[in-house]
Every structure is written in structure tokens, then in C-alpha cells.
Structure 1
Amino acid sequence: MKLIGIVGTNSAKSTNRQLLQYIQKHYAETVDIELVEIKDLPVFNKPADKTVPDSVLDIATKIEAADGVIIGTPEYDHSIPAALMNALAWLSYGIFPLLNKPVMITGASYGTLGSSRAQLQLRQILNAPELKATVLPGEFLLSHSLQAFDQEGNLRDLDTVKKLDAIFDDFRIFVKIAGKLQNAQDLLHKEAENFDWESL
């Protein structure tokens, strides 16, 4: 199974990146996970000719070739970071790599809530007509993330690891099931291509 892990921040040092790196290493024997950075993408400016930057097309190609996607999001002001919103805006502008793509949401935060409000908002965004990802019902929340990892980058708490293992096992099953639910994909793709917010 091939997965893409999207680091949903432009921060140089982030426990969300650290969490995705742990997931990549922890499940390396069963799943191939490639981490993708969005920190250098240009700011979305809705070009009239719908020209999408090569850096975005490169990410889109990787997503399309993958069986599923993991998105790690921090929470800023009860919301996802601007960098992640920017990436999703590009990835839904005349291209549709996330359409019907199985997605698992993870999030780490310094406090107790583990980016729960940002994850809820991300679910709503991923349900937008031009995105329409297939999102795993459960999510992984990592609280007190500054204290969560040891010097080797491993999660310290055994119960946290067990919870992540359970959710990740569910996601692997979810990916296999979602891969068989393709009957409406062509129709959804056509609807996404023809969707226009300005004509509503």
C-alpha cells in the first residue's frame, strides 16, 4: 500500500511533521508512506487561465498515484493553518486528485485538545464539491505534543501508540474498501469539473 503524508504546516519545526515522521517509520514494514511538504507553494491567486504551478501538479500526481492520504494539521485560532488551506485551494482548482481518495486526519497540539477543532473544519473542507475526499470517520489527536516524543522521535506513551495502531489498522481497511467504491467516480469528477461557485 502506498500512502502520501501531507505535512499541513509551513513551520520549520512542527510536532505535526514529527508525528507523520513517526507514522512513516513505525509502519514502514507494511505501508510505504512518502511525506510531502507544502511550505514552499505559492499563494493561491485564482489565475484566470487556471494555470496550476508545477509544484502543485507534482503533489497532485503523487496523490493520484497513492492509495490514500494522511493529513497532519496543527490548529491555529480554532482553524487549520493558512498554508494547508492554500494547498487545498490549489489542489481543487481545475485538478481533482483528492476526489474519492481515502484520507486519514491526524493532528498534534501543545495543549489538551489535539487540534480537534481544526480537524473538524478540515473534514468540512474536504467535503467541498471540488475536493470530495473520502475521509475516515475516526481521527488521531495528539495532545501535549511537545512532551509526546522521546529523543529518537518515538511516542513515549504506550496507550497513545495502541490508539494510533488501532486507528491506522482501520485506515488500511478503509483504503481497501474505498478502492472498491468507484461506481460514481466518473460522475463525481464531471460534477467537480463543472462546478462553479459564481453561478450559484
Structure 2
Amino acid sequence: MSLNLVGLVGTNAQISYNRMLLTYMQQHFINDVTITLAEIADIPLFSEEGLADIPESVYTLSDQLAAADGIIIATPEYDHAIPAALKSTIEWLSAATHPFTTQPIMIVGASLGLQGTARAQDNLRQILNSPGVNAFVMPGYEFLLSNAKEQFDKQSQLTNAKTISFLEECFAHYLQFVTDNRENLKLIREA
């Protein structure tokens, strides 16, 4: 039975190396899993007053995430943190519907800088572990793509063999993480 994963594009930017990374993963791992991309561009800025009338886009995204066997979140790094659009999306989801609860999460990220998305991934890990979000975040095997502009060719394919090999290693561990926890997650969700 193939796993159905959602790749959450952690930015509302129209052009994104993180979307490109998830698209690459979607194609590269097509024989192993199904990865459907989810966008956050239609999610408005979070406001507690908005909880009285939650936007339909929040419910649509929530349903997509909750139905997945696992979620891969690709985040850029803005000022040592995740983008405001991603934080706002998580705030909507954690306040309204809780689709991350017990979901196995893999965090990846692409950045133009030398350090990749190390600080943004730490920031996101902290957020996903907070009460109300309660995600199961895969420990270790952080995939940080630095110098993203030079990493992709004109067909949006990764070109560095070591980078591809490390992505494959991280992804194999994620699939094991999802598989190992799948039965336990099912029992938790049914409880």
C-alpha cells in the first residue's frame, strides 16, 4: 500500500525554491509514494476575531493535511525564522481544526544562503511541538538546501549527486518514521 503524503509549500511567494524542492521530491520519489502539493497563498493573516468565521481555505487545507499519511513541510528562512505566511497558516490550523495532531512531519528547506534553513527549521520544529499543534516531527535527518539558486538546473532538477543522495537518505528515514508510527497513529486517532 502506497503512502499518500502532502508537501506543504511554506511560503506564499509565487516563485519559490521550496516549491521547486517539493516538486522535485514529488517526481523523484514517484515510485515510492504519492506526494500532493498544498499551497498557503489563499490563507489570510490569522486573527482571533476570525475564528467566528473561519475561511473556507483553512478548512480545505486542513482536510487535505488530515487525510495524509504524513506531511513534508518545505520552509524558506526569513530573518532566522519561518515566513509569516506559514506561521499564520499554522495558527489558523491549530486554533480551528488541528490537522497536525499526531501527523508524522518531515521538515525540509531551501535557501539562497550558505546555512540553508537551519534556523527556520529549528523555529518550525518548536512551533510544531507546541500545545494545540501536537505534530510528530521526525528527529534528525534535516535536509537543508543551501545556495538553492545554484542547486537546480533549467528543468528544476537537483544536479549535485551528494545532495540527491542525502535527500534520498533523509527521505528513506522519513518513510520508516511514517511506517513505524502508522499503526500507533491510527490507534491514537481512533481513541
Query: Is 1:143 aligned with 2:146?
Result: yes
Identity within the alignment, %: 43
1:50 CA displacement: 4.0
Q: Which runs of 5+ in 2 are unaligned?
A: none
* Amino acid aligned to 2:164: V
Distance 1:2 1:186, change over 3 A: closer
Q: Which protein shows a greater Rg?
A: 1
Counterpart of 2:35 in structure 1 is 33
1:51 CA displacement: 3.3
Query: Is 1:171 aligned with 2:183?
Result: no
Distance 1:49 1:119, change over 3 A: closer
1:8 CA displacement: 0.4
Counterpart of 1:47 in structure 2 is 49
Q: Structure 2 CA distance, aligned partners of 1:108 and 1:17?
A: 9
TM-score (normalizing by structure 2): 0.93
1:48 CA displacement: 6.4
TM-score (normalizing by structure 1): 0.89
List structure 1 segments (4+ residues) > 6 angstroms apart after TM superposition: none
- Given the alignment, which residue of 161, 168, 171 partners 2:164? 161
* Amino acid aligned to 1:122: L
1:40 CA displacement: 1.9
- Given the alignment, which residue of 140, 146, 152 partners 2:155? 152
- 3-state SS of the aligned residue for 2:90? helix
CA contact (8 A) 1:7 1:73 kept: yes
String of CA shifts for 1:62-100, please: whole Å, max 9, x gaps.
111100000000001111000000110011013111001
* Amino acid aligned to 1:44: F
> How many positions carry a matched residue from both structures?
187
Counterpart of 2:11 in structure 1 is 9
Counterpart of 1:102 in structure 2 is 104
Q: Which runs of 5+ in 1 are unaligned?
A: 188-200
- Equivalence map 1:84-103=2 (5 Å): 84-103=86-105
Q: Structure 1 CA distance, aligned partners of 2:83 and 2:33?
A: 27
- Equivalence map 1:73-84=2 (5 Å): 73-84=75-86
Distance 1:49 1:111, change over 3 A: closer
Q: Over aligned residues, Cα RMSD in angstroms?
A: 1.4
- Equivalence map 1:55-134=2 (5 Å): 55-134=57-136
1:152 CA displacement: 1.4
1:164 CA displacement: 0.3
CA contact (8 A) 2:51 2:96 kept: no
